[in-house]
Amino acid sequence: MADSRHKLKIPIYRHPLTWILLLALALRLFNLTYHSLWFDEVMSTFWAAQPASEIWRVGLTLTQDKHPPLYYLLLHGWTALFGPGDFAVRSLGALIGALAVLPVYGIGRQLGGRRAGVMAALLLALNPFLVWYSQEARMFMPATTFGLCGVLGIGYWVSGIGHPRLNTQYLIPDTYWPLLLAIAGFTAALYTYLFSAFLLPVAGAWLALAWWLNRRKPEAPRRFWTGAAALAVVGLLFLPLARSAWLVSGGEATPGRAFAGMGPTLWRLLQVYAVGWPRWSGRTMTWVAIIAGGLGVFGLAGGWVLGIRYWWRQCPIPDTQYPIPNIQYPGLHLALWLLLPILAGGLLLTRDRTVFAETRYFIFLVPALCLTWGAGLAWLWQWRRLAGGIGLALMLGAALVALPANWSPQNRREAWREAAAFVQTHAGPNDAVVIQADYVHLAFERYFHGPQPVFYPFTDRLTDPAQVDAPLEGLAGYDAVWLVQSHHQELDPGNLVAGWFGARYPLITETYPAGIAIHGFAQGYRPSALPADVPRLDAAFDNLRLLGCTYQPDALSPRDDLFHPPSGWVHVTAYWTSPGQPPAADIFPLVRLVDAAGQVWGQSLERGNDAVHIWPTSRWLPNEILRADYDVNLNPITPRGTYRLVIEAPGVAGQAVCGEVGVVSNE
């Protein structure tokens, strides 16, 4: 008679894990290039473009880059196959991030049964935090997937020490492939992201706990020492990298206090790890944390009680659809996974106070939370299906509602693609671009394709105005300079570079795409002649004459969520002159957006550092030309239609139409 276990096998296309994997991959590929590559991602592409030998050398010393070499090596090969485009660069992480559902399912089934594994994998697939970092060309999510493979190997290994009555149908045969998986997974994780080292104490604790619980069994000592030897191999392989990491961190870290601020830190981590960064109210986020935390605690306690029930009482094994753990005290194992890295991180605060500065540093805790939630839901489902269904609906509903925030303007990464396009659109042929801090020029130049030269002269910390004089005075021959700043605050705490330009030249425009500040300064704001490409107007305004004007764009939305939230802006450049005696009183022209009925829907902002304030009309010389720039700020509710850009001078007779602008959408 055939083995009845074969009747339980499910075709791969009908297995829920197959559809969960496809869902995870679809979510991670969705809108993959919505965000521009931010600076850290551009650094990934920079290192991936180096020769493999150089990547390995730099990755082992950790001096030029603070991350190990494996991810860069993988990206090196990946981009060689698929190219260096944004989609190609990010697709590697998306694929590896989606594959994380496989080890999570395996771990979940070992700890709580098939249903717990499926629920944990589904929660991981939909987790907004993990989707976010799967869509980033960095090493955090790949390292998490590799680390999960290591934990899965250890989980399979310790399950072989368990009680004979514990679901022996699913126990792994007495082979060494789980240890090989553990060695490969942990080593790959460590050579991808250094904080993966926090998983090694977890693996050691799992081995020790399994040995203690089964110390009277003949196979327990052998399995313990063999598993310990496998972890020792991982430690030896990691030793060169660990030494470099310790030396580098010791030279740059700022010490703090052990466990300082851990309460608020853990509360923040729980919220972000559950739903990412939706713009919900504080009360809503509090309830999310309460529900997620409560379900996690229930998962830890429920799994622990379940382990007692089937180990201590030696109850008959019920239907395998119920959460039957292969590992004794699964809740205790998950608790060790969550607590040991947090305790180690709290202690490391004495060496480096930035250990918990970024939520991504402890990303490997998120799968552990998904497993605790999955265990809690499986336990609730067994206790009362209605309770389990409600809990699952709440967790999945929160994730699904929060997910769109990953692709929202409020959570936009550094917008280098958009910043480069803005400068490329607005800069003239004889303009120059200055990047500060110098090292972010790689991010800007990835997207900038204009003819203007790009300079990044400042590499050291600026504390004296004299430090900026010589480099910036050398740019005097350009009509305008576009200052693009990001990550510059520590190197230029007094904002000396922007201050140097602002004290000498009028502001053309300013804009602040995510993580970046752009300021244009008109060095040639008193040109000798009207530029040939400027349409002529020759409109009189008392003692002033408007010679011509240009504007852009000629069509736009009244709302803007990137450069000038919440309103769209039209930039106008006007050229003025005073043919005779200049006006006795200063005149400050403005630009308005006017509909056919004469109603005003937008007006230029008055700035104290524009051309007519820096060089007021009362000081103009006869027939000299002055360039003046205006940003016309639209009303966000401006309806669709065609509008005129009308130039006026309050208190002075005269009016001119610079052109027409189409408002094409109100979204």
The answer to whether residue 528 is domain-embedded is no
Residue 518 bridge partners (DSSP): 484, 511
pTM: 0.91
Statement to judge: residues 280 and 136 lie in one domain: yes
In a domain, 3, yes or no: no
What amino acid occupies position 126?
L
Q: Is the pLDDT of residue 269 over 50?
A: yes
In this prediction, residue 10 carries a pLDDT of 65
Q: Answer yes or no: is 2 within a domain.
A: no
Nearest to 400, CA basis, from 39, 50, 128, 105: 128
Do 59 and 127 fall within a single domain? Answer: yes
Which residue range(s) make up the domain with 548?
A: 536-663
DSSP 3-state of 54: helix
Of all residues in the chain, the percent with pLDDT exceeding 90 is 74
- In this prediction, residue 368 has a pLDDT band, given cuts at 50, 70 and 90, of very high
Question: How far is C-alpha 554 from the chain's CA centre?
Answer: 33
Residue 143 included in any domain: yes
Phi (first) and psi of residue 25, to 5 degrees? -70, -40
Task: Pick 315 or 584 by higher pLDDT.
Answer: 584
Alpha-carbon gap, residue 435 to 454, rounded angstroms: 7
Q: Are the C-beta atoms of 647 and 584 separated by less than 8 Å?
A: no
Is-cis flag, bond preceding 178, omega within 30? no
Coil vs helix vs strand at 554 = coil
Whether residue 406 is found in the same domain as residue 421 = no
Residue pLDDT, tens place only, 388-437: 899 999 999 999 999 999 999 999 999 999 999 999 999 999 999 999 99
Distance of alpha carbon 212 from alpha carbon 86, whole angstroms: 50
Domain-ending residue, one of 476, 500, 522: 522
Across residues 483-506, what is the average pLDDT? 95
400 and 424 in a single domain? The answer is: no
Cα separation, 130 vs 138, whole angstroms: 12
What's the pLDDT at 161? 58
User: Domain holding 591: CATH number?
Assistant: 2.60.40.770
**pLDDT value, residue 172:** 45
Identify which of 137, 96, 123, 36 has the alpha carbon closest to the alpha carbon of residue 403: 123
232 and 381 part of one domain: yes
In this structure, the answer to whether residues 406 and 443 fall within a common structural domain is: no
Contact between residue 123 and residue 296 where contact means Cβ atoms under 8 Å apart: no
Residues 6+ apart with CB under 8 A from 347: 258, 259
Of 267-271, 304-308, 496-500, the least confident: 304-308
Q: Which residues pair with 511 in a beta bridge?
A: 518
126 pLDDT more than 70 = yes
One domain for residues 341 and 462:
no
**Rounded to whole angstroms, how far apart are CA atoms 223 and 211?**
8
Per residue in 500-548, pLDDT tens? 999 999 999 999 999 999 999 999 999 999 999 899 998 998 889 999 9
